[in-house]
Amino acid sequence: MTMTEFAASHTPTREPILKARNLVKTFGRVVGLDGVSLDLYPGEVLAVIGDNGAGKSTLIKCLTGAEIPDTGELFVSGQQVHFKRPQDARVHGIETVYQNLAVSPALDVASNLFLGREERLPGLLGSVFRMLDTKGMRRKAKEELTRLGISTLQDVTVPVENLSGGQRQAVAVARAAAFGSKVVVLDEPTAALGVRESNQVLQLVRDLRDRGLPVILISHNMPHVFDVADRIHIQRLGKCAATITPQSHSMTDAVAIMTGAAKA
């Protein structure tokens, strides 16, 4: 029973939401990515791990439009795409939470959720006077937070800088996961957080997956990765060294593959 379930959810015949093939990215003489492929299936958490300089960040930047790969192909829901800017990736439903959090500290939670996609009032007030629908956005922000199961943010009118690190991360994740996105990419979401706050964020990641939203998680933290990931993509020296699961390999194995001490 469990075996069939496992097989059903990981059979390669299913169409990946995000598919990368042979991505190559060089910076002058430095090879950042050396032909990397990656598949992200619906409803899974795919962790990307690797040592510093292994090409994690470059891979993620190529997937999210922050860098343009030299060669290689990218598909979203089977359709080939060419991202030139982060905006392009966003249009295709790929939302990224960056390590430095990309939230505007002085703006409140609702404003941050809608930053860059503000909604205007209906009628003349909106079309002629360009007035924002502040109330509507606050209401929708609350709805989105409830829908995503984020309980730590009750008051959407609080400036983000008044929030704790975990709450800020929740705002950033909520913004990425809200408004019909297809893929959420989290870059080191727990790096700056304490134990309790890290657990909140990991729970958030699980909740997103349970709602069917696939997540790519970049992390240095092996316990966190093994805690939430369904599959683990190990980058080494610009290539994908292996793709493993927490069931098939131990943390020690993963580190060994990552550092080159063991072959996959």
Residues that bind another protein (CB under 8 A): 86-87, 90, 96, 98, 100-107, 111-112, 115-118, 120, 129-132, 134, 151-152, 154-155, 157-159, 161-164, 175, 196
Nearer to another protein, 148 or 229 (CB): 148
Least Å from the CB of residue 125 to another protein: 9
Round to the nearest angstrom and report the end-to-end CA distance of the chain: 28
- Least distance CB 111 / another protein (angstroms): 6
CB of 161 to another protein, least distance (A): 6
Give me the least distance between CB of 120 and another protein, in Å please: 7
Closer residue to another protein (CB): 87 or 250: 87
Nearest to 183 by CA among 35, 6, 63: 63
Task: Give the single-character DSSP code of 108.
Answer: B
- 40 with 216: CB under 8 angstroms? yes
Q: How far is the CB of 27 from another protein (least distance, A)?
A: 20
Rg (CA), the chain: 19
Report the amino acid identity of residue 38: L
CA-closest candidate to residue 221, choices 247, 238, 239, 201:
201
Given the complex with another protein, which of 185 and 244 has the nearer CB atom?
A: 185
User: What is the three-class DSSP state of 33?
Assistant: strand
**Rounded-to-integer distance, Cα 200 and Cα 213, Å:** 18
The nearer residue to another protein, 137 or 225, going by C-beta atoms, is 137
Question: Which of residues 16 and 86 has its CB atom nearest to another protein in the complex?
Answer: 86
Closer CB to another protein, 103 or 244, in the complex: 103
**What is the helix (H) or strand (E) element at residue 18, kind and residue range?**
strand 18-27
Long-range CB contact pairs, 131-139, < 8 A, 24+: 134/110, 137/110, 137/111, 137/113, 138/110
Report, in Å, the least distance between residue 226 CB and another protein: 27
